[in-house]
Structure 1
């Protein structure tokens, strides 16, 4: 979600300030030649630090897809090894959460289980019924002795009453407003166009939940099943995806939260066991990736482009806001040219008119190249996920657009392995079943009004 649904005047002012005050950034050029087999054997981290070479190889052997002419798993493993960043971590348990009700149930259960601390980071935190439920749960935990630390984005919460945050603060919850719209309240320099788009909950340093779901009543209903039939368009259910993670990789996500807290000068955190000893919880190999405009380039972007360059059979992506830069566009088209099955599930309706039409300006070029496009019906698509070759999966807060890669703080995880990849493929195909495929012939017949809207949206794509 790029902006809250209300507060139109404030949104316009934010956009104008962003254009006038901030210089343009650029995306890095990702060289396909960077993807290579590591010179040394791959080594994974575990609950107690780096694993031995033999233990690492045993874990990787279990994850490989058998019976393939090319070792696709090894290829994607090489991508992750070639990129600088957080380590690949073994011994995690990753659960796939689909839509708001399932994600909220997991979040409330995690909050209720907290005994030491709760760290929460979100873009939108509304003061509606859902927001009040979260506020009540967090305040109850704070009063019970659990320290709650909350980072919320200033633009994402423009419509939230100040009294909502006053209540949280007075209970003892520590708050950080990320890059305040009001420069007089900024603690770390005024960077209005840089937004915190992450959605991350960490409980006791042991459980993490992340993905696309904000704290808002729009997620109150699910997007699959008979309940959505006949629903008025103005009341479409929101379709989203999150992950619940236990295991050693939670420590890497905790580091991302604390880094943001420090950069925003949130003050010294109340002493708690933020990095408890972590145990093996499952068999998933996971890499946590955070991106920030304060860094030279987006690690998430570099990882994605490298994975696209190395795809052998399938690229299946779901993106709520799809406005491709030239390099991403070229990577998708090149994959089709070498025989890869490239499919994208995109929205048929949106909460952001400009982004919606900016992305549609590229549909003809994609369809002509052989990319298959599916528009999700009867739901407002907000998913940011992908699965490549059935073994490389990612879920997080990152959209496939300029804003996510250049201007936002984002967080994703990459999960390696065919078992989790199978779950991701199943979820993707469920979205395809709820979609209508676009054809080049039909797209060329779209009305003039739509073409004009696309030109307008594309003119603003960098800033959206």
Structure 2
């Protein structure tokens, strides 16, 4: 056994400016005889640094030959490292396989400084680092706002396909719009084209026990609040979907990869007393005044899910991206899954793209397929890159995140763009679930600098379309600090007829200083930030961003109402019980 004592952090509090460091210092002794210390490390695998940093022996305070004594490490906190209280295990081992652990702590405050102005070469250089992709020029970007034009564009480019069709979606129904798209895809399979599809298992099969748990959680919330009679369960035609696609997969005519969170999780280590949950989750738990340092075996799991959560279907990793690439030349990204509601009565948004950025989208799909598919049972999709610069067009960048790999590029690119805002930040998000988080810090920072921050999300009425409005009450939990800071929150208007289909808001769109716009699958939520794979297409074009700004304000004027401080206070008083209970379900959204 190894003893680690006299642990000190100097200073105990710094900021995430990227210019400050802390020194970690401790004394290490082994209780084993005739051995020597072999390794001392600072475990930061639960943070964005995702590594174990060695502590070096202090030659002036070291015993030989046992190498016992004082060990130190100088740690630099990078810019945009999430703020909060950091718990950093110190791990040590000796030559007789003895081990020991200690815990160090320091406080990191949010102060990354203002980024260079959007559109400048300095901003582009930094954004390329955080987005992990270069900006590309001369792209044709077409907004697919109505469901009808979004469907027709998909059917058109499928029909025009000559070599390959790649599709990734969160859900694909067997009938309705999904059925029409499936018919078009299978027709191309019969013509000998290569068709590759990525689907998320949990969300695809609502009749399975896994997805039923998600539905039952919403129903439990609804019944507990006693607000009315539950609507009949709405089932997808999953049997039709499976019956039609599985034979094609088995015959080799269709390359279908199904994602499960367990395929990317890692076994937990109950023996490791030093284990802590990921920092983003620890920060949430701090706000709830729970016990973030509880040993792993107290977390009711022998399998590690996102951030240290139990790997349950409700909480596990998921692929949430929506991608379509045809012949490596044409692409569609955005918010729509391949079900009828997204094209018929929901409010959603996609972008159709041609040009060099399609190469980034194609590469993103292929990377996802490689991570998800079993190489022994799947044929790797052909790498087809056929994008051509347009005669004149927009500058664009495709950014992706895969949290299970420690890659949070969408989150970092969003925060950098927010820190660059000088005048305005406008957002449309399906829900707004931001407990203690760097994204909330960045939004509050922008508002504090005098930036006009406005966010449009769903209302109680539109949320009744899915999940008995649970997400609405989860959102209300986290509006008080934003509203107090001057952030203006709007909610989408629903149909006055409660029996009517509601225009559920599913778009994900962000506009920075009317110079940069981003559209994709990313919501303002903890799941999008840390649990699900996501993407955004950033379009750095003043004319495009101004056009999207006009569309945003048209929605505010005709399809939304503001949650003013007075109205928010009334909502909290009227829905106190539902709001408090919904907080237990925040990581479902």
TM-score by length of 1: 0.77
1:391-406 → structure 2 map (5 Å cutoff): 391-406=515-530
Alignment match, 2:397: 287
Which secondary structure state, in structure 1, belongs to the residue aligned with residue 432 of structure 2? coil
Alignment match, 1:446: 571
| TM-aligned CA distance change 1:357 to 1:421, over 3 Å | same
| TM-aligned CA distance change 1:277 to 1:383, over 3 Å | closer
1:112-151 → structure 2 map (5 Å cutoff): 112-151=159-198
Deviation at 1:446, TM superposition (A): 2.2
Deviation at 1:443, TM superposition (A): 1.7
Alignment match, 2:227: none
Deviation at 1:158, TM superposition (A): 1.0
1:339 paired to 2:450: yes
1:215 paired to 2:345: no
Looking at structure 2, the residues matched to 144 and 440 of structure 1 have their Cα atoms a distance apart, in angstroms, of 59
Looking at structure 2, the residues matched to 256 and 431 of structure 1 have their Cα atoms a distance apart, in angstroms, of 32
Looking at structure 2, the residues matched to 271 and 310 of structure 1 have their Cα atoms a distance apart, in angstroms, of 38
1:89-168 → structure 2 map (5 Å cutoff): 89-159=136-206, 160-161=238-239, 162-168=242-248
1:77 paired to 2:124: yes
Alignment match, 1:330: 441
Deviations 1:230-266 (A, max 9, x none): xxxxxxx210011001011111111111111111234
For the 8 Å contact 2:401–2:408, the answer to whether it is kept is yes
Between Structure 1 and Structure 2, the one with more helix by share is 1
1:368 paired to 2:487: no
Alignment match, 1:234: none
Deviation at 1:134, TM superposition (A): 1.0
Deviations 1:189-248 (A, max 9, x none): 997511110111000000110110001111242xxxxxxxxxxxxxxx210011001011
Looking at structure 2, the residues matched to 335 and 142 of structure 1 have their Cα atoms a distance apart, in angstroms, of 49
| TM-aligned CA distance change 1:35 to 1:203, over 3 Å | farther
Which secondary structure state, in structure 2, belongs to the residue aligned with residue 398 of structure 1? coil
Looking at structure 2, the residues matched to 357 and 215 of structure 1 have their Cα atoms a distance apart, in angstroms, of 27
Looking at structure 1, the residues matched to 434 and 139 of structure 2 have their Cα atoms a distance apart, in angstroms, of 32
Looking at structure 1, the residues matched to 551 and 131 of structure 2 have their Cα atoms a distance apart, in angstroms, of 30
Name whichever of 445-454 and 383-392 sits farther off: 445-454
| TM-aligned CA distance change 1:381 to 1:206, over 3 Å | same
Alignment match, 2:471: 355
Deviation at 1:86, TM superposition (A): 1.1
1:427 paired to 2:525: no
Looking at structure 1, the residues matched to 129 and 112 of structure 2 have their Cα atoms a distance apart, in angstroms, of 10
Greater gyration radius: 2
Deviation at 1:456, TM superposition (A): 1.8
Looking at structure 1, the residues matched to 381 and 457 of structure 2 have their Cα atoms a distance apart, in angstroms, of 44
Alignment match, 1:258: 366
| TM-aligned CA distance change 1:239 to 1:420, over 3 Å | same
Deviations 1:130-166 (A, max 9, x none): 1111110001111112111111110121132221332
Looking at structure 2, the residues matched to 245 and 148 of structure 1 have their Cα atoms a distance apart, in angstroms, of 19
Deviation at 1:84, TM superposition (A): 5.4
Which secondary structure state, in structure 2, belongs to the residue aligned with residue 394 of structure 1? strand
1:456 paired to 2:581: yes
Looking at structure 2, the residues matched to 451 and 309 of structure 1 have their Cα atoms a distance apart, in angstroms, of 34
Which secondary structure state, in structure 1, belongs to the residue aligned with residue 514 of structure 2? coil
Looking at structure 2, the residues matched to 111 and 176 of structure 1 have their Cα atoms a distance apart, in angstroms, of 19
Q: Which sections of structure 1, spanning at least 5 residues, go unmatched?
A: 1-23, 38-70, 184-188, 222-236
TM-score by length of 2: 0.62
Looking at structure 1, the residues matched to 260 and 576 of structure 2 have their Cα atoms a distance apart, in angstroms, of 36
Deviations 1:91-127 (A, max 9, x none): 2111111132221111111111100100000001112
Partner residue of 1:243 out of 346, 351, 360: 351
Partner residue of 1:195 out of 318, 341, 352: 318
Looking at structure 1, the residues matched to 521 and 131 of structure 2 have their Cα atoms a distance apart, in angstroms, of 20
For the 8 Å contact 1:287–1:414, the answer to whether it is kept is yes
1:29 paired to 2:140: no
Q: What is the alpha-carbon root mean square deviation over aligned residues?
A: 2.6
Deviation at 1:462, TM superposition (A): 3.5
Deviations 1:53-111 (A, max 9, x none): xxxxxxxxxxxxxxxxxx54326435414425011111211111113222111111111
Which secondary structure state, in structure 1, belongs to the residue aligned with residue 141 of structure 2? strand
